[in-house]
A and B are shown apart, each in its own frame.
Chain A
């Protein structure tokens, strides 16, 4: 009996006597208001944030890709530069060494030449001096011998000697 009653209630409850237009209006109006408010205060900012994030991520990916490429290029350039610099340094060192060697040889040659020249000059000087000395000596020797001779002749020649000298001289003449 109770079951039948229950069923009746259910059916009557479901059937809904008449159409409550007012409820429908409340429903529609409140839903439209909800739609408008949520659209403005919830969905729009939410979707904007999501969109922004998407754009941010994609731009970040682009930027990362770009910086990776840049870094790669920079590393390549740096390696090339390093290689070039190394070669250059090598060349400079080599050149310096060569120049040093050359300079060394040059200096040695100059020094040798200078020494030679100095030696020659000295030899020449010595010879000149010797010559001069000889000439001076000769002049002195002549005058000195004359003086000596005259002195000897003045003092030493006695009458005997003179006689002898004369006689010798005469003898020579006789021959």
Chain B
């Protein structure tokens, strides 16, 4: 149970450059899986879609609905690829740790959801929030963007500033918390419970294991959905003319 992360500190002799190897590895694996799924799904596109294309189009329509729910489609269509990629990436990432559990060697955990690392989720949320700021400046200019901080009254300035930081934290930590907790419980069931008194507990552990895995899959999908919904809400705050 005492898993540690495979760290590679001070990489290439650079003092601040630390790698969490398992997180980075899982990030890349997850990206590759998403890429393969999406590209396979959008190969040989036809007017009469096949099964795979149908699924992809359902996802596109779904995210389109999310984007359309928070801003008008004219500005929203620029964020559709972002929303789609985020959704697929987070969904697949959340699934990875549930589907394949805890591949580890020498108490070092290699296989996990990349989203069960706070660094990943906070990076994602930071990126999204920065993107929303950037998009706000791009769409309405610096003046309008800065004005947004003193609305509705100048007194609100500190609160608005705090809100921006809080957005990053809540967006990232919500995802991290959900997925991390799910994996912890999975490994608790799978290792501590299963090996406490084998073989009886091992067999017994199957029941909560299956239940919690199903729940984790559900949570993973819900969290991916929540992440893109909030992303689009933050985007729309910065992008829309009137709030």
Contact = CB atoms under 8 A, between A and B. Distances in A.
Contacts of A38: 34-35, 38-39, 81, 84-85, 88
Contacts of B119: 16, 19-20, 23-24, 27
A46 B118 contact: no
B139 interface: no
A132 to B, nearest CB: 111
A41 B81 CA distance: 11
A48 B192 CA distance: 51
A7 to B, nearest CB: 11
Given A10-B184, A39-B81, A22 B17 contact: yes
Interface in A1-56: 5-6, 9-10, 13-14, 16, 18-24, 26-28, 30-31, 33-35, 37-39, 41-50, 52-53, 56
Interface string B14-29: 0011111001100110
Contacts of A13: 3-5
A40 to B, nearest CB: 10
B42 A45 contact: yes
The main secondary structure of chain B at its interface with chain A is helix
A31 B89 contact: yes
A28 B127 contact: yes
B124 interface: yes
Interface of B: 1-5, 7-9, 11, 16-20, 23-24, 27-28, 31, 34-35, 38-39, 41-42, 45-47, 49, 53, 56-57, 60, 80-82, 84-85, 88-89, 114, 117-120, 123-124, 127, 180, 184, 188, 192
